[in-house]
Chain A
Amino acid sequence: MIAKPVALTRALSLAVAFGFATHAAAESLPPEPLDISLEDLLRVEVTSASRKSERLHDVAAAVYVISREDIERSGATSIPEALRMAPGVDVARLANNRWAVSIRGFNNRFGNKLLVLMDGRSIYSPIFSGVLWENEDTLLEDIDRIEVIRGPGAAMWGANAVNGVINIITRRPRDTQGNLLVAGAGSEERAFASFRHGGQAGDGHYRVWGKAFDRDEAVSGDARSGNDYWRSGRVGFRGDWSVASGQRVMLSGQAYSNDTGDRWQIPDITARQGVRLTDMKQTGKGAHLLGRSEWTLNDGSEAALQAYVDYSEIEVPGAFKEERTTIDMDFQHRLLVGERHDVLWGLGYRYSGDRIGSAGFIKFQPDSRSFNLASTFIQDDITLLPNTLRMILGVRFETNNFTGYQPLPNARLMWTPSDTQSVWGSVARAVRTPSRGELDATIDVSVLPPGAPGNPSSFPILTRNVRSDDSLDNETVIAYELGYRQRLASNLSLDVAAFYNQYGDLRSAMLAARSFEFSPPPPHIVQTTTPDNSIEAHTHGVEIAVDWSPLSWWRIQPIYSYLSLNSSSTSGDQLSVANTRIFNSSDPQHQWSLRSSMSLADRQQFDFWLRYVSKLGDRNSQLAIPAYTTLDLRYAWRPTRDLELSVVGQNLLDSQHPEFVPSLLPGEALEIQRGVYLKANWQF
């Protein structure tokens, strides 16, 4: 169905949308519906208890859905901030314009084991193998839901869906008719404004929108401003049309321009400390156009064809500039075979070509390269016992011009002993392909000045990571998962998932040749390192999500995530061992959060969100971050049906706190400050 973007038709073959209120039992007798006219019914406000639990009941995977209402009531102003609502997700804000986001471990600014799609378009960057969150955005009011699928999704979604898949799905234009104006201002969210217009055209609906904002800078530990300003402008559109004979067509596009500031520690042999703290400016520009068509065949089966072209440009003057063009095509066909087989199969092709100019301490070689990926997948959702037992077998075959052919299999079992309980299990294999940066970049990583610990010589030692010459392999994971869901009462649901993952061939590096160089002066030692796949790891963990509506106007959503990660070096190389320490200290072991949403009298809402994240790293390690607890509050009031005013306070429990120390592209660990903003949301 056209309005359901790829995600829905694909999401592990099961629709993952929110359910609806089910706490009828707790209510008094239903009002006489025949006494309520249709006109009045259209005006009645409905309350929702456990919106999500209903449909999630049927999904044989660890899925959490962040609904539009959740986003609105969280007060989040960006997609990564909204992702903090899902269990198993680790979101750390490095600066006001930078995030590290991962699922089930290995967090990093470029969380490379996580695939993110927006309306069916991958926003995973092949140069960094990760998502540049500062460049990805949309009108938050247009997001219908964010489906967060923990665990490998490679059989369905392809390589790099190692630890999870995030689907950001926007609303149908039919649901965003009329005009919307959002504007606000605050201390950290200095100023923001969005506009949307939705209308009808022919046999369909469209919307056009634009947004712009200016965000304040964070501070470093010693109270200097962080040079992490962020100014962004973005426009977009989406149109959905029904054409003849039940065929549906969707067309969407976006263009953006982003200025963000950053502060890098650039290695410098002439600097006394070995680094030059340099203010950088990063500009991002991009645009994409996506078309999708869905239709029902004569035999009742459904087919979908999607294609998009995406252009993006990232420039950091004095360091590098990347221009990238991506063309992606995808076909899917879903049919019922007999009574018991729900089969989904598909074909995909992607071309991604770049041109990279680099200067200074980063050098890409060659400066232009293209990545071609062809894939096919098939999945069979087999009903073993009607309404009770299902088995889902899937496999994807993928081939690319970097690391060749890969099979990505997955088997799942779903047992639904009753209407209120379900148990599922899964075994899957997934891979991550090396990024363009890992394959082709030569980077000066650090300088040890003479006399520093580890450098007894009287010359600076420059560590240089040289390009891999395509010797890098895929990283692999074998993942085992088990999940349980129960609706304990009509207003209370529980979702538990546990996992054990084994990783092999994780990317690391080893010490290689050492040489003495006279130029550029001063004379220095160059210690080269070469990338390899010398780390293995295993993780295990549990995630718990509860959704409870103790009263018809009050909803509470606690979540808890536990993660244990152990990595070890297979080479014993000094550098490889050092990298295991980075892996071992990148993720909090415990995270919990409690969200409360109250719908009060006179169209008022009062919400709070309390979060705890346990420490990162050992106390004395460079990557150490102390545990923190933070609180966001939101109060909203609708003086009229079409106008909402709200005030949101974020990170209220301390004046500032750090969340992550960047280990890749080393920068400063900035601290996130308390902030308050006011917002008006007007529909007309």
Chain B
Amino acid sequence: MNSPPPRWLAALLAIAAVVATSSTLAQSSLTESQAKAAFVINFARYIEWPERVFANGTAPLLICALGRSAVGNALEAHAGRQVQGRPISVRQLLGIDDARPCQVLFIADSEERRISQLLRAVAAQPILTVSDAEAFIDVGGAIGLVRADQRLQFEVNRQALEQAQLRASSNLLKLARNLADFKGKN
């Protein structure tokens, strides 16, 4: 039943092969995990923690990652850099019980089915919770990373920030796509 492929098809394939081999990748784009880690580090710039969470003025800012994901590794690449005058320290957690000293907690979407439980364990503590799990802010998370086509966006739950005694700068809030002044595109 298969008739031989038409000649124009062979021509098309040849053109495609040329296009594919001759065009090097345009942007030196980030992987999704690298981009997510970059978001997490950036969020830390815009959040104000209660003074008491740091032992002193130069104590490190502790960023923790929970769950199976490459974001944890991508975060580790930033350890030692400075945020708000503090060096970044990164720790990959085995369980939520170790989250108490963290200022930022990234929960990988591999933990999606127990996110409610995880969030309860850190409720009311001055920890900025960030996750790429679906509908994270709807279940009480503070910042949710969402993918929109080829880009990442984020959503902020102001009530969750308040409960964690964290203050977010308006520069952060106005970029969150779910907040009132958002008039962006999908």
> A351 within 8 Å of B by Cβ?
no
A172 and B34 within 8 A (CB)? no
Segment touching B, from A52-60, A129-137, A535-543: A52-60
Residue of B81, B138, B171 touching A3 (CB-CB under 8 A): B138
Count contacts between A and B, CB distance < 8 Å. 219
A22 and B70 within 8 A (CB)? yes
Using A38-B42, A38-B175 as known contacts, say yes or no to A46 and B150 having CB atoms under 8 A apart.
Answer: yes
> B140 within 8 Å of A by Cβ?
yes
> A578 within 8 Å of B by Cβ?
no
Residue of A30, A176, A248, A657 touching B186 (CB-CB under 8 A): A176
Q: Which residues between 339 and 364 of chain A lie within 8 Å of chain B, taking CB atoms?
A: 342
Q: What is the distance, in angstroms, from A250's C-beta to the closest C-beta of chain B?
A: 11
B interface residue count range (under 10 / 10 to 19 / 20 to 34 / 35 or more) = 35 or more
**Complex CA distance for A45 and B82, rounded to whole angstroms:** 25
Q: Which residues of A contact B124 (CB under 8 A)?
A: none
**Complex CA distance for A657 and B134, rounded to whole angstroms:** 42
Bitwise interface map of A from 161 to 192 toward B, beta carbon under 8 Å scored 1, else 0? 00000000000101111101000000000000
Residue of A nearest to B81 (CB): A34
Q: What is the distance, in angstroms, from B63's C-beta to the closest C-beta of chain A?
A: 12
A36 and B38 within 8 A (CB)? yes
Interface SS majority for chain A: loop
Most buried by A among B31, B32, B39: B31
Bitwise interface map of B from 102 to 124 toward A, beta carbon under 8 Å scored 1, else 0? 00000001101110110010000
A657 and B16 within 8 A (CB)? no
**Complex CA distance for A1 and B44, rounded to whole angstroms:** 27
Q: Which residues of A contact B38 (CB under 8 A)?
A: 30-31, 33, 36, 41
Bitwise interface map of B from 20 to 52 toward A, beta carbon under 8 Å scored 1, else 0? 100111111111111111110110011000000
> A293 within 8 Å of B by Cβ?
no
A642 and B185 within 8 A (CB)? yes
Q: Which residues of A contact B147 (CB under 8 A)?
A: 20, 46
Q: Which residues of B contact A601 (CB under 8 A)?
A: 23-26
Interface SS majority for chain B: mixed
B33 and A22 within 8 A (CB)? yes
Residue of B31, B73, B113, B116 touching A15 (CB-CB under 8 A): B113
> B55 within 8 Å of A by Cβ?
no
Using A38-B172, A176-B186 as known contacts, say yes or no to A27 and B112 having CB atoms under 8 A apart.
Answer: no
**Complex CA distance for A501 and B116, rounded to whole angstroms:** 38
Residue of B12, B24, B70, B151 touching A633 (CB-CB under 8 A): B12
A interface residue count range (under 10 / 10 to 19 / 20 to 34 / 35 or more) = 35 or more
Q: What is the distance, in angstroms, from A298's C-beta to the closest C-beta of chain B?
A: 10
A4 and B70 within 8 A (CB)? no
Q: Which residues between 71 and 115 of chain B lie within 8 Å of chain A, taking CB atoms?
A: 73-74, 77-78, 81-83, 109-110, 112-114
Residue of A1, A31, A633 touching B138 (CB-CB under 8 A): A1
Q: Which residues between 35 and 65 of chain A lie within 8 Å of chain B, taking CB atoms?
A: 36-39, 41-49, 54-55, 57-58
Most buried by A among B12, B74, B138, B152: B138
Using A20-B36, A175-B146, A336-B117 as known contacts, say yes or no to A657 and B2 having CB atoms under 8 A apart.
Answer: yes
Using A13-B113, A34-B45, A552-B31 as known contacts, say yes or no to A44 and B151 having CB atoms under 8 A apart.
Answer: yes
Residue of A nearest to B139 (CB): A1
Q: What is the distance, in angstroms, from A486's C-beta to the closest C-beta of chain B?
A: 14
Q: Which residues of B contact A8 (CB under 8 A)?
A: 134
Q: Which residues of B contact A33 (CB under 8 A)?
A: 37-38, 41-42, 78
Residue of B45, B110, B132 touching A58 (CB-CB under 8 A): B110
> A512 within 8 Å of B by Cβ?
no
B110 and A24 within 8 A (CB)? no
> A246 within 8 Å of B by Cβ?
yes
Residue of A24, A37, A600 touching B74 (CB-CB under 8 A): A24
A46 and B3 within 8 A (CB)? no
Q: Which residues between 637 and 683 of chain A lie within 8 Å of chain B, taking CB atoms?
A: 642, 649, 652-655, 657-658, 683
**Complex CA distance for A38 and B42, rounded to whole angstroms:** 6
> A76 within 8 Å of B by Cβ?
no
Residue of B nearest to A552 (CB): B25
Residue of B9, B12, B31, B153 touching A21 (CB-CB under 8 A): B31
Residue of B nearest to A294 (CB): B138
**Complex CA distance for A419 and B26, rounded to whole angstroms:** 33
> A198 within 8 Å of B by Cβ?
yes
Using A177-B184, A635-B16, A683-B185 as known contacts, say yes or no to A246 and B140 having CB atoms under 8 A apart.
Answer: yes
> A270 within 8 Å of B by Cβ?
no
> B165 within 8 Å of A by Cβ?
no
Residue of B3, B70, B113 touching A342 (CB-CB under 8 A): B113
**Complex CA distance for A603 and B171, rounded to whole angstroms:** 30
A602 and B1 within 8 A (CB)? no
Using A42-B175, A45-B29, A628-B2 as known contacts, say yes or no to A34 and B135 having CB atoms under 8 A apart.
Answer: no
Residue of A41, A48, A655 touching B39 (CB-CB under 8 A): A41
A31 and B30 within 8 A (CB)? yes
Q: Which residues of B contact A54 (CB under 8 A)?
A: 68-69, 109-110
> A302 within 8 Å of B by Cβ?
yes
A248 and B138 within 8 A (CB)? yes
**Complex CA distance for A466 and B88, rounded to whole angstroms:** 77
Residue of B23, B29, B68, B132 touching A44 (CB-CB under 8 A): B29
**Complex CA distance for A642 and B148, rounded to whole angstroms:** 12
Bitwise interface map of B from 127 to 163 toward A, beta carbon under 8 Å scored 1, else 0? 0000010110011100000111011110100000000
B184 and A296 within 8 A (CB)? no
**Complex CA distance for A37 and B1, rounded to whole angstroms:** 58
Q: What is the distance, in angstroms, from A39's C-beta to the closest C-beta of chain B?
A: 7
Q: Which residues of A contact B148 (CB under 8 A)?
A: 175
B37 and A30 within 8 A (CB)? yes
Q: What is the distance, in angstroms, from B133's C-beta to the closest C-beta of chain A?
A: 8
> B57 within 8 Å of A by Cβ?
no
Q: Which residues of A contact B120 (CB under 8 A)?
A: 300
Q: Which residues of A contact B83 (CB under 8 A)?
A: 34
Q: Which residues of B contact A22 (CB under 8 A)?
A: 31, 33, 69-70
Q: Besides the contacts A24-B34, A31-B28, what 5 more A-B pairs have beta carbons closer than 8 Å? A: A24-B74, A30-B77, A552-B29, A629-B2, A684-B185
Q: Which A residues are within 8 Å of any B CB, using their own CB?
A: 1-4, 8, 13-15, 17, 19-24, 27-34, 36-39, 41-49, 54-55, 57-58, 172, 174-178, 180, 198, 242, 246, 248, 296, 300, 302, 336, 342, 419, 490, 551-553, 598-604, 606, 608, 626, 628-629, 631, 633, 635, 642, 649, 652-655, 657-658, 683-684
**6 A-B pairs closest in CB distance:** A33-B38, A21-B32, A601-B26, A1-B135, A601-B23, A3-B135
A-B contact pairs, 17 of them (CB 8 A): A4-B135, A15-B112, A28-B28, A29-B77, A30-B38, A30-B78, A33-B37, A34-B83, A38-B175, A39-B175, A47-B29, A54-B109, A553-B25, A653-B2, A653-B5, A654-B3, A658-B1
